Structure 1
Amino acid sequence: MTRMADLQAVAWPPAPIRTERLVLREPETRDRDAFIELLASPEVNSYLGGPRLPGELEREMPVVPEQWPGSFVVELDGAMIGQILLRRATAHHRPAAIGKVDLGYLFLPRAWGFGYAAEACAAALDWLGGVLPGEPVVLTTQTANVGSMRLAARLGFTEVERFHAWDAEQWLGLRSPVTPSA
């Protein structure tokens, strides 16, 4: 199988991905305030190095934020509640992750506890399996982030290793490609 350097070669943006409750789509101008709220939230960023200052985000964020292949807005009832990120892990702390697609996700605290992250991540992984069949995916989270650890297990990630980085113990999981049955 030939590996692409990144997701740039995939036709982007895809048609919106619809699940039972959510829509995954490319970011739009109307999402800017929600992105600022997401990146400035102490709760969202407690395991990611801390929040950024809202004023700094206001000055630096483009009119259409995070608009690049692999960045999905997660929308519920017409409003952004989170973001799914799929990007090639080219510079990772762990050799086991380098070259694989890395799954990341951020959700606003008001969207926590309803299964939206699991639903959105599963849809993004299904999409990825359609455009890059046989692609393994990695996920890194702090072991202290119990919710993220549970989500990784639900999505089929298995532990590859634990390591120390960013002043905390990290967990690296791998989701092997799903092979079609004969």
Structure 2
Amino acid sequence: MNGPVLFTERLVLRLPETSDLDGWAEMSADEETMRFIGGTKPRSQAWRDLCAMRGAWDIKGFAMFSVIERATGRWIGRIGPWQPEGWPGTEVGWGLARDSAGRGYAHEAAVACMDYAVDILGWRHIIHTIDPANARSIALARRLGSTNGGRVSLPAPYEHETVDAWGQTAEQWRNRTRD
């Protein structure tokens, strides 16, 4: 399946591929990285998650992109539009490998994905489901211009997770002050 490819100054965002498995599995096994995004998972589950993300592109026409560092060609995470069955809204979510965190990559990719969700997918409202203890994701949501809309419930198997829906309308996104 061919799909969209987004380019930013330092990143390429493309559909997940089989070659992403090593990076995806490494990230999925990292306790610190996965603390707020479903917990650690073995390589076999990482494979199923990668396939589910790729399959969502075919079934729904969107899903998170694999994030590739342009300078190295290395897979560094997954960021993008996401709305599995029972999700509380149209989300742009993110997850980066620990060694890529703190470099501005999440913001750079999230801006491209917010533009994609609004301009291409036509989304009228975008959320980011964030654990209230996840200070880094809250800071990114704020930097994107999102505000806390309050507690929401996630579908199984995440129904026991505590998350708030940070978000904004497409109009707010289009009218934001760009940094």
Give the TM-score normalised by structure 2: 0.78
Q: AA paired with 2:76?
A: I
Asked if residue 52 in structure 1 is aligned to residue 41 in structure 2, the reply is: yes
Residue type matched to 1:36 in 2?
A: A
Distance in 1 (CA, whole Å) between partners of 2:9 and 2:73 is 14
Q: Which runs of 4+ in 1 moved over 4 A?
A: 62-65, 163-169
* Alpha-carbon distance change, 105 to 65 in structure 1, aligned in 2, over 3 angstroms: same
Q: Which piece of structure 1 moves more, 39-48 or 168-177?
A: 168-177
Aligned twin of 1:72: 65
Secondary structure, aligned partner of 2:20: helix
1:85 equivalent to 2:72? Answer no
Q: Identity of paired residues, percent?
A: 28
Q: Which has the larger radius of gyration?
A: 1
> Residues of 2 paired with 1:108 and 1:90: CA distance?
26
**What aligned pairs does 1:4-153 form with structure 2 within 5 A after superposition?**
13-14=3-4, 16-54=5-43, 56-57=44-45, 61=48, 66-67=53-54, 68=57, 69-76=62-69, 77-88=72-83, 90-92=85-87, 97=88, 100-133=89-122, 135-153=124-142
Structure 1's 24 and 164: CA in aligned 2 closer, same or farther, altered over 3 A?
closer
Structure 2: segments with no counterpart, 5+ residues = none
Evaluate the alpha carbon distance shift between residue 65 and residue 102 of structure 1 in structure 2; reply closer, same or farther with a 3 A threshold. closer
Taking only aligned residues, the RMSD between alpha carbons, in angstroms, comes to: 2.8
> Residues 89 and 174 (structure 1 numbering): CA distance in 2 closer, same or farther, change over 3 Å?
farther
The answer to whether the aligner puts 1:155 opposite 2:149 as a matched pair is: no
Tell me the SS of whatever aligns to 1:153. helix
CA drift of 1:65 comes to 6.8
- Using the TM superposition, give the Cα deviation of residue 90 of structure 1 relative to its aligned residue in structure 2, in angstroms: 4.5
Structure 1 runs not aligned, ≥5 long: 1-10
Structure 1: distance between partners of 2:133 and 2:126: 21
Give the distance between the partners of 1:63 and 1:136, measured in 2 at CA. 26
The yes-or-no answer on 1:174 pairing with 2:170 is: no
Contact 1:32 1:64 in 2 (8 A): no
Contact 1:32 1:65 in 2 (8 A): no
Tell me: CA distance 1:133–1:18, structure 2 relative to 1, closer, same or farther (3 Å).
same
Distance in 1 (alpha carbons) for counterparts of 2:52 and 2:121: 25
Distance in 1 between the 2:27 and 2:39 partners? 11
Tell me the SS of whatever aligns to 1:147: helix
Q: Give the length in aligned residue pairs.
A: 162
Q: Is the 2:152–2:164 contact (alpha carbons within 8 Å) kept by the matching residues of 1?
A: yes
TM-score (norm 1): 0.76
